[in-house]
Structure 1
Amino acid sequence: MTLAHGRQVLMIPGPTTVPDAVLQAMHRPAIDIRQGELVDMTDRCLADLKTLFGTAGETFIYAANGHGAWEAALSNTLSRGDRVLVLESGRFARGWGEMGARLGLDVELLPGDWRRAVDPAALQARLAADDAHEIKAVLVVQIDTASGALNDIPALRRALDAAGHPALFMVDTIASLACVPFEMDGWGVDLSVSATQKGLMTPPGLSFVAAGPRAMAAHASAGLVTHYWDWTFRMGAAHYQKYCGTPPEHLIFALRAALDLLLAEGLAAAQRRHRLLAEAVRAAVAVWAQAGALAFNIERPEERADSVTVVLMPDHDPERLRRFCLETCGVTIGETIAEIHGHGFRIGHMGHVNAPTVLGALASVEMGLSVLGIPHGAGGVQAATEHLATALASERRTQAVPAAAAG
């Protein structure tokens, strides 16, 4: 028997569900790339990206996935032989470093624990030992979707400052932008990268770099600059220069529609929605884990991301559960990757998600655990629902107090 007939639900950590309004925005003819509406649309997208990143710096749009933004960041600020320090908390900062090695950078890994966020004290100690300031940049992700770790970016900035080290601080926000708070300028981040296919609710294919004053100063002497990624060329007066050629029109139409949806909701409200839904997922997983067969990959609650939850079940085949969710319920949950491949599953809860999608996905997982005989604590979905109900009731009471006082 299948319950999957109906609209499929995608609950992986990217690409995420694209809203109907964003899909519809792409269903239109191509337009002039040199003047008029598209020029205005580009200017507004670049300005709104500054709002999302929390920066007064320069923003750039690339027709590329997030790996393209990685390369753009490195090639515009560094030279062959420069040393960069990569902060490991899963797979993706390490991947950024591997790209740097292919570019001719001297890449050093600060080893981390796949079940922990980056340790600021370890970063401070390594930078304090670099008396000659050979390390030119520090690379880290805010959220690693492979491990589910949330790194404390302000604490890492404080570690750089405590060590008195001048390295550029570069942060990947691909899985965090618009999902959790990020204040590039306020937190002392020199450069940030992101992409469309996660919290920004747009099909894969566009990525972004935000560069602050120190990154722009480094660009002046960077030896790895190539024409396509070059910030100087992309800041030229002609509209086509912003894309180094023909703009990816229909992806820009989609991005504009997605930004309109996000800004209409309000950035703080979107982040609050992500936090509440993530807490609901964690409430369910905590109950399921009581039987001992399932566990959070990230051990400390404060280090768990609000955009993805990674669950370990090493003594049971997670593919059976994933197939059940897909084939019986029409819900796609993610597999674990890299070092923990085959040891669990991932629930993505970012972008165009709401209570019905998250609670429905949790109910499908819980049903699968029962049907497949995987030991788990009962009542995970109820715990998730009760958590949301309690949080919403508290908000209603808080809102009612000022209203009563005003009356």
Structure 2
Amino acid sequence: MAASRRPGRNHLFIPGPTTIPDRVIRAMSVQSEDHRSPSFPELAKPLFQDAKMVFGSTEGTVILFPSSGTGIWESALTNTLCRGDKVVVARFGQFSHLWTDMAMRLGLDVIVQDEEWGTGADPQKIEEALRADKDHAIKAVMIVHNETATGVTSDIGAVRKAMDAAGHPALLFVDGISSIGSLPFKMDEWKVDCAVAGSQKGFMLPAGLGLICVSQKALKVAEGGQGGGSNDRLGHVYFAWADQLNANKGGYFPYTPALPLLYGLREALAVMKEEGMENIYHRHAVLGEATRQAVAAWGLKPCAKEPKWNSDTVTAIVVPEGVDAAKIISHAYDRYNLSLGAGLSKVAGKVFRIGHLGDLNELSLLGAIAGAEMAMLDCGMKLTPGSGVAAASSYLRENPLHKA
């Protein structure tokens, strides 16, 4: 017999995709149109300029691809590097592992700096590697800003200071897929050369639109400046920046764009402007801390090894020895229609994750905390009923989401 209808909606608290604001959903409900029409640039052109706000940039160039964030990883590497180029990668979670794997498969010479899962990039080790590279063979440093597998945020400003201290010209590539639009991101100040983002997280859109903000330095490298012109340049066609930028000048794209997502992006940027980026950052900081207050009240710990690593977009919660986190996740979904993030790779079955990013407020988060708490109790975990909700709600009552 088929299952009966489940009342209410699914409560989506994975670290992306995130819940889409209703007004953004309405904005994407559009009929197909001619993307070569004379009026199309009225939609497209402002997006390239307005999106810079979210990256913390006035000097960068925004390029939009019909792609997930993984494709934008590839665009950053293939437009700027040559086969055999050395790159430094800090690896401390599933997504930094995947970006490392991509670099290797593309033919780059990858210097991997492995860090303990639950920690992040080590600026001192990066500085030491760059100081030792007297011939400047290292062409790029690759950092995942916010590692969703472990709930860890790395200090990109400190990485930039380390690179400057070493006096090294390497490019700085940053995966900001689960941070940009939610956590403070200062592309120009940190001198990030390629900042990678995806539509499905802080931008509050469906997956399928990849965004990259590129520095003038990286554009010159891509055009054949520093180290360019080699026959060993990594191949790129679909992800070619030059093709995009040539078409973007007139407000067009070199191939068919993801039209509803462009309308959605326009509305999402309007939402973000109305709230203000500083308010968005503060809201995420409050919601992140409220989640950690709940975790502490449950007698549990986050996967992040120290408070300095804590992410304000996702908390990975370590379950006690002998408890299968996957069962908690499954039960939360089946019984309470709550979607929690699963543990990945090294932490599979050891953690579950609460994503607290995008379009949410106090009551949204408290629903997720209550559901996670009930699921843990149902699965036999020993904790005081209501403890997490009480701790989080007490913190939220004392800490408004927006600064006065």
Query: TM-score under structure 1 normalisation?
Result: 0.91
- What corresponds to 1:380 in structure 2? 388
Deviations, residues 39-73 of structure 1 (Å, cap 9, x unaligned): 12211111111111122111100011001101111
SS of the residue corresponding to residue 139 of structure 1 reads: strand
Q: How does 1:163-178 map to 2 (within 5 A)?
A: 163-178=166-181
- What corresponds to 1:402 in structure 2? none
What are structure 2's unaligned runs of at least 5 residues?
A: none
Q: How does 1:293-308 map to 2 (within 5 A)?
A: 294-308=300-314
SS of the residue corresponding to residue 392 of structure 1 reads: coil
Instruction: Report the Cα distance in structure 2 between the residues aligned to 1:251 and 1:227, rounded to whole angstroms.
Output: 22
1:233 equivalent in alignment to 2:233: no
Query: 1:226 offset after TM fit, Å?
Result: 2.2
Q: How does 1:210-229 map to 2 (within 5 A)?
A: 210-221=213-224, 222=228, 223-229=233-239
Q: How does 1:100-139 map to 2 (within 5 A)?
A: 100-139=103-142
1:143 equivalent in alignment to 2:146: yes
Quick one: structure 1 residues 186 and 142, their matched pair in 2 at CA, closer, same or farther if it must change by over 3 Å? same
RMSD of the TM alignment (CA)?
Answer: 2.0
Contact residue 95 and residue 149 of structure 2 kept, 8 A: yes
Match of 1:9 among 8, 11, 22: 11
Q: How does 1:4-403 map to 2 (within 5 A)?
A: 5-55=7-57, 56-221=59-224, 222=228, 223-237=233-247, 243-289=253-299, 294-313=300-319, 314-376=321-383, 379-392=387-400, 399=404
Instruction: Report the Cα distance in structure 2 between the residues aligned to 1:176 and 1:229, rounded to whole angstroms.
Output: 22
Query: 1:237 offset after TM fit, Å?
Result: 4.7
Contact residue 41 and residue 250 of structure 2 kept, 8 A: no
SS of the residue corresponding to residue 185 of structure 1 reads: helix
Query: 1:349 offset after TM fit, Å?
Result: 0.8
Amino acid at match of 2:123: P
Instruction: Report the Cα distance in structure 2 between the residues aligned to 1:390 and 1:335, rounded to whole angstroms.
Output: 31
Instruction: Report the Cα distance in structure 2 between the residues aligned to 1:361 and 1:237, rounded to whole angstroms.
Output: 44
Amino acid at match of 2:310: R
Amino acid at match of 2:8: G
Contact residue 152 and residue 304 of structure 2 kept, 8 A: yes
Contact residue 240 and residue 246 of structure 1 kept, 8 A: no
Query: TM-score under structure 2 normalisation?
Result: 0.92
Query: Is the deviation greater in 243-252 or in 353-362?
Result: 243-252
SS of the residue corresponding to residue 236 of structure 1 reads: helix
Contact residue 247 and residue 253 of structure 2 kept, 8 A: no
Quick one: structure 1 residues 254 and 155, their matched pair in 2 at CA, closer, same or farther if it must change by over 3 Å? same
Contact residue 16 and residue 201 of structure 2 kept, 8 A: yes
Amino acid at match of 1:315: G
Contact residue 312 and residue 356 of structure 2 kept, 8 A: yes
Contact residue 329 and residue 364 of structure 1 kept, 8 A: yes
Contact residue 141 and residue 172 of structure 2 kept, 8 A: yes
Instruction: Report the Cα distance in structure 2 between the residues aligned to 1:343 and 1:28, rounded to whole angstroms.
Output: 43
Amino acid at match of 1:95: L
Query: 1:115 offset after TM fit, Å?
Result: 1.4
Query: Is the deviation greater in 180-189 or in 370-379?
Result: 370-379
Instruction: Report the Cα distance in structure 1 between the residues aligned to 2:248 and 2:328, rounded to whole angstroms.
Output: 52
Query: 1:26 offset after TM fit, Å?
Result: 2.0
Identity of aligned residues (%): 37
Deviations, residues 177-234 of structure 1 (Å, cap 9, x unaligned): 1111001011121221111011111000010111112111211224225232222221
Quick one: structure 1 residues 264 and 296, their matched pair in 2 at CA, closer, same or farther if it must change by over 3 Å? same
